[in-house]
């Protein structure tokens, strides 16, 4: 007897469009037989990881590797609390921030007849994870200048809004939300609605522009801040992130977190990376210079882009971006198409080293020249 397994999951999973990560170098090499591949698709650190993290990984003993890890009691938790000047019971360590989002959804929105609130062009993981759990997703529009419309989000909040997700800066647009707007949002929502402020790119934001969520946490216990070691610290392959929240929320997250989910290698590397201030400074400084380099290069090619506070820049191709995306792959360069976000004319490129940025801009120029007869791609 035939069974249509597609119909067995709940409606949320059946309607789900899965997350599509940036194409890997191995995948492109297999497809096209290329060897000199430059991946600028996933906002990874082009410098790799901290030398101190690498050294710490090399010292892991056989006994340590054979022992189950305990994130609740690992010294990384205390170290983060000390650096952030918060209490240790406010820190949750997770297997990447995506895993923490799942904990928050499971804890506060699942089986509660509630929904989550986000906005158009928000990081897709929020909606994907919510739909996987059968949690409804409400999304508000953005302003004409791509900024998140905080007033629209405030108007959309109801007693059934369990969680609000905002990335600051936002991915994939790169735009920042000002601290005053975050505070205004917190002042306007009930204490039973939790605002999740995803600060994955926090280290890249200029000091003058940073919204200090930690300061707001002192007055608003319904604020949860998440950060990651994947970007500026270069530990994306190890999957580790953390949340800072009121101890009551942290306690609930640890109550439902599966045991041993954060591996010992990730915690060891993260613990060491926090001491490597030189590498962090090198990474953020290179990104600042590289972002300026890309902005100037795109401007010279008459390509519009969105102002970014992260380690990436999203630019407008003025036509469907797939021919440009495919053309760059012919040159061995991987960027990120944004069709899953409905941004069909846009591509997102990670800030690379100076030499990598030059290579990218040069190949974009070649593609523009080749396509210029078919479409005025370089029009402002």
Short-list 240, 239, 227, 231, CA closest to 279: 231
Tens digit of pLDDT for each residue in 314-357? 999 999 999 999 999 999 999 999 999 999 999 999 999 999 99
Token match 């650190």: residue? 45
Tens digit of pLDDT for each residue in 161-181? 999 999 999 999 999 999 999
Q: Is the pLDDT of residue 229 over 60?
A: yes
Cα(301)–Cα(298) distance, integer angstroms? 5
| pLDDT tier at 369, thresholds 50, 70, 90 | confident
The confidence score (pLDDT) of residue 376 equals 44
- Judge whether 97 and 241 are in contact, CB under 8 Å: yes
Q: Is the pLDDT of residue 272 over 70?
A: yes
- Residue-averaged pLDDT of the chain: 94
Number of other residues whose CB lies within 10 A of the CB of residue 354: 12
Cα(223)–Cα(245) distance, integer angstroms? 7
The confidence score (pLDDT) of residue 208 equals 75
Q: Is the pLDDT of residue 293 over 70?
A: yes
- The residue with greater pLDDT, 80 or 10, is 80
**In the chain, what percentage of residues exceed pLDDT 90?**
84
Q: Is the pLDDT of residue 378 over 80?
A: no
Beta bridge partner(s), residue 347: 315, 337
Q: Is the pLDDT of residue 374 over 70?
A: no
Q: Which domains does the chain have, with CATH numbers?
A: 5-48+278-371 (3.90.1150.10), 67-273 (3.40.640.10)
| Mean pLDDT confidence for 15-27 | 85
């Amino acid at each position: 007897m035939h069974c249509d397994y597609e119909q067995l999951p709940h409606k949320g999973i059946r309607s789900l469009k899965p997350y599509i990560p940036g194409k890997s170098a191995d995948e492109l090499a297999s497809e096209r037989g290329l060897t000199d591949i430059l991946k600028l698709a996933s906002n990874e650190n082009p410098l790799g990881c901290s030398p101190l993290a690498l050294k710490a990984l090399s010292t892991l003993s056989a006994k340590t590797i054979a022992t189950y890890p305990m994130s609740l009691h690992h010294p990384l938790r205390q170290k983060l609390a000390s650096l952030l000047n918060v209490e240790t019971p406010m820190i949750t360590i997770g297997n990447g921030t995506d895993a923490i989002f799942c904990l928050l959804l499971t804890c506060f929105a699942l089986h509660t007849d509630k929904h989550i609130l986000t906005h158009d062009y928000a990081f897709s993981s929020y909606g994907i994870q919510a739909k996987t759990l059968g949690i409804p997703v409400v999304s508000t529009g953005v302003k004409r200048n791509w900024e998140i419309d905080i007033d629209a989000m405030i108007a959309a909040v109801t007693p059934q809004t369990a969680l609000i997700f905002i990335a600051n800066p936002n991915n994939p647009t790169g735009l920042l939300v000002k601290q005053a707007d975050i505070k205004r949002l917190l002042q306007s929502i009930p204490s039973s609605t939790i605002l999740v402020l995803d600060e994955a790119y926090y280290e890249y934001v200029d000091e003058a522009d940073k919204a200090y969520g930690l300061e707001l946490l002192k007055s608003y216990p319904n604020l949860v801040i998440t950060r990651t070691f994947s970007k500026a610290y270069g530990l994306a392959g190890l999957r580790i992130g953390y949340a800072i929240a009121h101890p009551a929320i942290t306690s609930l997250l640890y109550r439902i977190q599966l045991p041993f989910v954060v591996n010992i290698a990730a915690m060891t590397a993260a613990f060491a990376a926090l001491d490597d201030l030189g590498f962090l400074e090198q990474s953020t400084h290179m990104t600042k210079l590289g972002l300026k380099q890309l902005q100037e290069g795109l401007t010279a090619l008459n390509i519009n882009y969105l102002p970014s506070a992260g380690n990436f820049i999203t630019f407008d191709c003025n036509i469907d971006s797939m021919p440009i995306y495919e053309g760059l792959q012919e040159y061995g360069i991987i960027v990120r198409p944004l069709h899953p976000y409905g941004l069909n004319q846009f591509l997102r490129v990670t800030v690379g080293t100076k030499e990598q940025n030059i290579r990218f801009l040069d190949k974009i120029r070649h593609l523009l020249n080749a396509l210029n007869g078919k479409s005025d791609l370089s029009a402002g």
